[in-house]
Amino acid sequence: MSSSLLDIVKILVFSSVFFVWVVRYQNIVEEFRAYNYPNWLRDSVGILKLSFVGMLISSNAILVMTGSVGIMVLMLAAIFTHLKVKNPFPKMIPSMVLFGLCAAIFLNR
């Protein structure tokens, strides 16, 4: 993957996580409530996600690798949550896409 395309993917991941966890935070509150997850878990996941996507924008390869792996782990947890609560497949697509984009970032750092 070219460095320009990699930069675009990083910005796309950063923007999407920022949008969901900052701009649409109330949706996250409702989603975690529906899954019966505690507030501390929601807030911890949010802090981790925002920290990890911040790392993706870095020019430091170790930070980029850490950020991409961190998001991949969180996306696996999200996918398992969707399976656990028996959400329809379309609800899993964003988690799967973010996992794939972060895998591409990790493999092309």
70-90 pLDDT, tens digit per residue, is 999 999 999 999 999 999 999
- The pTM score is 0.92
- Between CA 31 and CA 7 the distance in angstroms is 30
Q: Which domain holds residue 52?
A: 3-107
SS3 24: coil
- Between CA 17 and CA 75 the distance in angstroms is 11
State which amino acid sits at residue 9.
Answer: V
- Between CA 28 and CA 41 the distance in angstroms is 12
Average pLDDT over residues 10-17: 96
Q: What is the phi-psi region of residue 94: left when phi exceeds 0, alpha when psi lies from -120 to 50, beta otherwise?
A: alpha
Q: pLDDT at position 81, please? A: 94
Average pLDDT over residues 97-101: 97
